[in-house]
Amino acid sequence: MRRLAAEFLGTGMLVTVVVGSGIAAQRLSPNDVGLQLLENSLVTALGLAVLILLVGPVSGAHLNPAVSLADWVLSRRRAGGLSSTDLGAYVAAQITGGVAGTLLASVMFDVAPTLSTTPRATAGQLVGEVVATAGLVLLVFALARTTTTAVTAAAVGAYIGAAYWFTSSTSFANPAVTVARIFTDTFSGIAPASAMPFILAQLVGAAVGVALLLVLYPTADRTAARAVVPIRPDTTPQEHS
Protein backbone atom coordinates (compact mmCIF):
# COMPACT_ATOMS: atom_id res chain seq x y z
CA MET A 1 0.00 0.00 0.00
CA ARG A 2 2.91 2.37 0.62
CA ARG A 3 4.13 1.76 -2.92
CA LEU A 4 0.69 2.48 -4.37
CA ALA A 5 0.36 5.60 -2.22
CA ALA A 6 3.73 6.77 -3.54
CA GLU A 7 2.67 6.20 -7.16
CA PHE A 8 -0.65 7.99 -6.53
CA LEU A 9 1.05 10.93 -4.85
CA GLY A 10 3.94 11.13 -7.32
CA THR A 11 1.77 10.98 -10.45
CA GLY A 12 -0.75 13.36 -8.92
CA MET A 13 1.92 15.92 -8.11
CA LEU A 14 3.48 15.50 -11.56
CA VAL A 15 0.15 16.38 -13.19
CA THR A 16 -0.32 19.25 -10.75
CA VAL A 17 3.07 20.56 -11.84
CA VAL A 18 2.23 20.20 -15.54
CA VAL A 19 -1.27 21.65 -15.39
CA GLY A 20 -0.55 24.28 -12.74
CA SER A 21 2.53 25.62 -14.51
CA GLY A 22 0.56 25.65 -17.78
CA ILE A 23 -2.17 27.79 -16.22
CA ALA A 24 0.40 30.12 -14.65
CA ALA A 25 2.28 30.43 -17.95
CA GLN A 26 -0.95 31.27 -19.77
CA ARG A 27 -1.68 34.04 -17.29
CA LEU A 28 1.84 35.44 -17.04
CA SER A 29 2.60 35.38 -20.77
CA PRO A 30 -0.80 35.61 -22.46
CA ASN A 31 0.51 36.80 -25.81
CA ASP A 32 3.54 34.55 -26.25
CA VAL A 33 2.88 30.83 -26.75
CA GLY A 34 6.59 30.09 -27.11
CA LEU A 35 7.30 31.60 -23.71
CA GLN A 36 4.37 29.70 -22.23
CA LEU A 37 5.86 26.44 -23.50
CA LEU A 38 9.30 27.36 -22.14
CA GLU A 39 7.86 28.08 -18.70
CA ASN A 40 5.76 24.92 -18.71
CA SER A 41 8.61 22.67 -19.89
CA LEU A 42 11.18 24.07 -17.46
CA VAL A 43 8.91 23.68 -14.45
CA THR A 44 7.91 20.16 -15.53
CA ALA A 45 11.53 19.06 -15.95
CA LEU A 46 12.50 20.35 -12.51
CA GLY A 47 9.35 19.04 -10.83
CA LEU A 48 9.73 15.56 -12.32
CA ALA A 49 13.33 15.28 -11.12
CA VAL A 50 12.28 16.25 -7.59
CA LEU A 51 9.38 13.78 -7.55
CA ILE A 52 11.62 10.91 -8.67
CA LEU A 53 13.92 11.64 -5.74
CA LEU A 54 10.94 11.94 -3.39
CA VAL A 55 9.00 8.74 -4.10
CA GLY A 56 11.64 6.64 -5.84
CA PRO A 57 12.90 4.86 -2.73
CA VAL A 58 9.32 3.76 -1.93
CA SER A 59 7.82 2.69 -5.28
CA GLY A 60 10.57 3.08 -7.86
CA ALA A 61 8.96 6.32 -9.12
CA HIS A 62 7.46 4.89 -12.30
CA LEU A 63 4.71 7.57 -12.34
CA ASN A 64 3.83 6.30 -15.81
CA PRO A 65 1.88 3.22 -17.00
CA ALA A 66 4.16 2.94 -20.03
CA VAL A 67 7.20 2.54 -17.76
CA SER A 68 5.37 0.08 -15.50
CA LEU A 69 4.24 -1.97 -18.52
CA ALA A 70 7.79 -2.05 -19.88
CA ASP A 71 9.05 -3.16 -16.45
CA TRP A 72 6.47 -5.96 -16.43
CA VAL A 73 7.39 -7.11 -19.97
CA LEU A 74 11.11 -7.17 -19.18
CA SER A 75 10.43 -8.99 -15.92
CA ARG A 76 8.82 -11.88 -17.81
CA ARG A 77 12.31 -12.81 -19.02
CA ARG A 78 13.79 -13.00 -15.53
CA ALA A 79 12.70 -12.92 -11.89
CA GLY A 80 12.06 -9.53 -10.33
CA GLY A 81 10.21 -6.42 -11.36
CA LEU A 82 6.46 -5.96 -11.29
CA SER A 83 4.08 -8.90 -11.12
CA SER A 84 0.82 -8.83 -13.09
CA THR A 85 -1.04 -7.86 -9.92
CA ASP A 86 1.46 -5.10 -9.19
CA LEU A 87 1.13 -3.79 -12.74
CA GLY A 88 -2.64 -3.42 -12.52
CA ALA A 89 -2.41 -1.76 -9.12
CA TYR A 90 0.35 0.63 -10.24
CA VAL A 91 -1.60 1.70 -13.34
CA ALA A 92 -4.78 2.29 -11.31
CA ALA A 93 -2.87 4.37 -8.76
CA GLN A 94 -1.15 6.38 -11.49
CA ILE A 95 -4.37 7.18 -13.39
CA THR A 96 -6.40 8.11 -10.32
CA GLY A 97 -3.50 10.12 -8.94
CA GLY A 98 -3.16 11.97 -12.23
CA VAL A 99 -6.84 12.93 -12.33
CA ALA A 100 -6.61 14.09 -8.70
CA GLY A 101 -3.59 16.20 -9.68
CA THR A 102 -5.59 17.97 -12.39
CA LEU A 103 -8.39 18.70 -9.92
CA LEU A 104 -5.90 20.06 -7.39
CA ALA A 105 -4.34 22.41 -9.94
CA SER A 106 -7.83 23.59 -10.95
CA VAL A 107 -8.72 24.37 -7.34
CA MET A 108 -5.46 26.23 -6.70
CA PHE A 109 -5.89 28.45 -9.75
CA ASP A 110 -9.68 28.91 -9.38
CA VAL A 111 -10.36 27.19 -12.69
CA ALA A 112 -13.50 25.11 -13.04
CA PRO A 113 -12.61 21.52 -14.01
CA THR A 114 -14.01 20.86 -17.47
CA LEU A 115 -13.24 18.67 -20.45
CA SER A 116 -10.56 20.00 -22.75
CA THR A 117 -11.44 21.25 -26.22
CA THR A 118 -7.85 21.17 -27.53
CA PRO A 119 -7.44 18.64 -30.38
CA ARG A 120 -3.96 17.18 -30.68
CA ALA A 121 -4.12 13.87 -32.55
CA THR A 122 -2.68 14.80 -35.92
CA ALA A 123 -0.49 12.23 -37.69
CA GLY A 124 2.64 14.21 -36.86
CA GLN A 125 1.74 14.54 -33.19
CA LEU A 126 1.09 10.81 -32.90
CA VAL A 127 4.52 10.11 -34.39
CA GLY A 128 5.87 12.59 -31.86
CA GLU A 129 4.31 10.57 -29.03
CA VAL A 130 5.84 7.35 -30.35
CA VAL A 131 9.26 9.02 -30.43
CA ALA A 132 8.87 10.68 -27.02
CA THR A 133 7.72 7.50 -25.26
CA ALA A 134 10.27 5.26 -26.95
CA GLY A 135 13.07 7.60 -25.92
CA LEU A 136 11.81 7.79 -22.35
CA VAL A 137 11.51 4.01 -21.93
CA LEU A 138 14.92 3.45 -23.49
CA LEU A 139 16.49 6.07 -21.23
CA VAL A 140 14.86 4.84 -18.03
CA PHE A 141 15.91 1.22 -18.42
CA ALA A 142 19.35 2.03 -19.78
CA LEU A 143 19.98 4.24 -16.74
CA ALA A 144 18.83 1.45 -14.44
CA ARG A 145 21.94 -0.49 -15.41
CA THR A 146 24.57 2.00 -14.29
CA THR A 147 23.58 5.26 -12.66
CA THR A 148 22.76 6.64 -9.25
CA THR A 149 19.35 7.93 -8.18
CA ALA A 150 20.39 11.56 -8.50
CA VAL A 151 21.67 11.07 -12.04
CA THR A 152 18.53 9.19 -13.04
CA ALA A 153 16.27 11.93 -11.68
CA ALA A 154 18.22 14.66 -13.47
CA ALA A 155 18.46 12.76 -16.76
CA VAL A 156 14.77 11.82 -16.92
CA GLY A 157 13.73 15.37 -16.02
CA ALA A 158 16.09 16.79 -18.64
CA TYR A 159 14.80 14.40 -21.32
CA ILE A 160 11.16 15.32 -20.73
CA GLY A 161 12.04 19.02 -20.68
CA ALA A 162 13.88 18.68 -23.99
CA ALA A 163 11.18 16.49 -25.55
CA TYR A 164 8.64 19.26 -24.96
CA TRP A 165 10.51 21.05 -27.73
CA PHE A 166 11.84 18.42 -30.14
CA THR A 167 8.57 16.49 -30.47
CA SER A 168 5.49 17.88 -32.20
CA SER A 169 3.24 16.54 -29.43
CA THR A 170 5.11 18.34 -26.61
CA SER A 171 5.91 14.91 -25.16
CA PHE A 172 3.05 13.68 -23.02
CA ALA A 173 4.76 10.22 -23.13
CA ASN A 174 2.53 9.00 -20.29
CA PRO A 175 -0.97 7.43 -20.51
CA ALA A 176 -1.89 8.49 -16.96
CA VAL A 177 -0.92 12.10 -17.63
CA THR A 178 -2.84 11.97 -20.91
CA VAL A 179 -6.03 10.84 -19.18
CA ALA A 180 -5.59 13.47 -16.45
CA ARG A 181 -5.11 16.29 -18.95
CA ILE A 182 -8.53 15.56 -20.49
CA PHE A 183 -10.06 17.30 -17.46
CA THR A 184 -8.59 20.76 -17.96
CA ASP A 185 -9.47 23.15 -20.77
CA THR A 186 -6.25 25.13 -20.30
CA PHE A 187 -2.82 25.34 -21.91
CA SER A 188 -1.95 21.70 -21.15
CA GLY A 189 -5.31 20.09 -21.93
CA ILE A 190 -6.09 17.44 -24.54
CA ALA A 191 -9.52 16.80 -26.04
CA PRO A 192 -11.08 13.43 -25.11
CA ALA A 193 -11.19 12.40 -28.79
CA SER A 194 -7.41 12.89 -29.02
CA ALA A 195 -6.57 11.03 -25.81
CA MET A 196 -7.04 7.45 -27.00
CA PRO A 197 -4.92 7.89 -30.16
CA PHE A 198 -2.25 9.48 -27.96
CA ILE A 199 -2.34 6.54 -25.54
CA LEU A 200 -2.11 4.01 -28.38
CA ALA A 201 0.88 5.91 -29.79
CA GLN A 202 2.49 5.86 -26.34
CA LEU A 203 2.04 2.09 -26.07
CA VAL A 204 3.62 1.66 -29.50
CA GLY A 205 6.45 3.92 -28.35
CA ALA A 206 6.94 1.85 -25.21
CA ALA A 207 7.23 -1.31 -27.34
CA VAL A 208 9.75 0.39 -29.60
CA GLY A 209 11.70 1.55 -26.57
CA VAL A 210 11.88 -1.97 -25.11
CA ALA A 211 12.96 -3.38 -28.48
CA LEU A 212 15.73 -0.78 -28.82
CA LEU A 213 16.81 -1.43 -25.25
CA LEU A 214 17.26 -5.16 -25.88
CA VAL A 215 19.19 -4.46 -29.09
CA LEU A 216 21.55 -2.00 -27.43
CA TYR A 217 21.72 -3.70 -24.02
CA PRO A 218 20.87 -7.42 -24.41
CA THR A 219 21.17 -8.05 -20.66
CA ALA A 220 19.10 -5.02 -19.60
CA ASP A 221 16.30 -7.28 -18.36
CA ARG A 222 18.57 -8.21 -15.44
CA THR A 223 18.29 -4.68 -14.07
CA ALA A 224 14.70 -3.88 -15.09
CA ALA A 225 13.55 -4.18 -11.50
CA ARG A 226 15.70 -1.16 -10.63
CA ALA A 227 13.78 1.22 -12.91
CA VAL A 228 13.17 4.07 -12.39
CA VAL A 229 14.83 4.24 -8.99
CA PRO A 230 15.86 1.21 -6.95
CA ILE A 231 13.53 0.62 -4.02
CA ARG A 232 15.46 0.94 -0.77
CA PRO A 233 16.89 -2.41 0.35
CA ASP A 234 15.94 -1.70 3.96
CA THR A 235 12.23 -1.97 3.06
CA THR A 236 10.99 -5.42 4.00
CA PRO A 237 9.10 -7.71 1.59
CA GLN A 238 5.98 -7.37 3.77
CA GLU A 239 6.10 -3.62 3.27
CA HIS A 240 6.29 -4.12 -0.50
CA SER A 241 3.03 -6.05 -0.62
Consecutive H or E run containing 47: helix 33-59
- Whether 239 is covered by a domain: the verdict is no
pLDDT in tens, 152-168: 999 999 999 999 999 99
237 found inside a domain: no
Residue 199 lies in a domain: yes
**Hey, how many other C-beta atoms are within 10 angstroms of the C-beta on 225?**
18
Asked whether residue 240 is domain-assigned, the answer is no
Question: Residue 130's pLDDT is what?
Answer: 98
Residue 238, domain member (yes or no): no
Overall number of domains in the chain: 1
Q: How confident is the model at residue 43 (pLDDT cuts 50, 70, 90)?
A: very high
User: Three-state DSSP class for 234?
Assistant: coil
Taking a C-beta distance cutoff of 8 angstroms, is the pair 201, 173 a contact? no
How confident is the model at residue 148, as a pLDDT?
Answer: 79
Residue 148 counted as domain residue: yes
Angle, alpha carbons 12-36-151 (nearest 5°): 55
Residues of the domain holding 48: 2-229
Confidence of residue 89 (pLDDT cuts 50, 70, 90): very high
Q: In the predicted model, what is the mean pLDDT of the chain? A: 91
Q: Is residue 235 part of a domain?
A: no
pLDDT, tens digit (0-9, with 9 covering 90-100), for 204-226: 999 999 999 999 998 877 776 66
- 29 lies in a domain? yes
Question: What's 145's domain CATH number?
Answer: 1.20.1080.10
Q: What is the pLDDT of residue 226?
A: 67
- Return the pLDDT at 221: 75
pLDDT of 232 strictly over 70? no
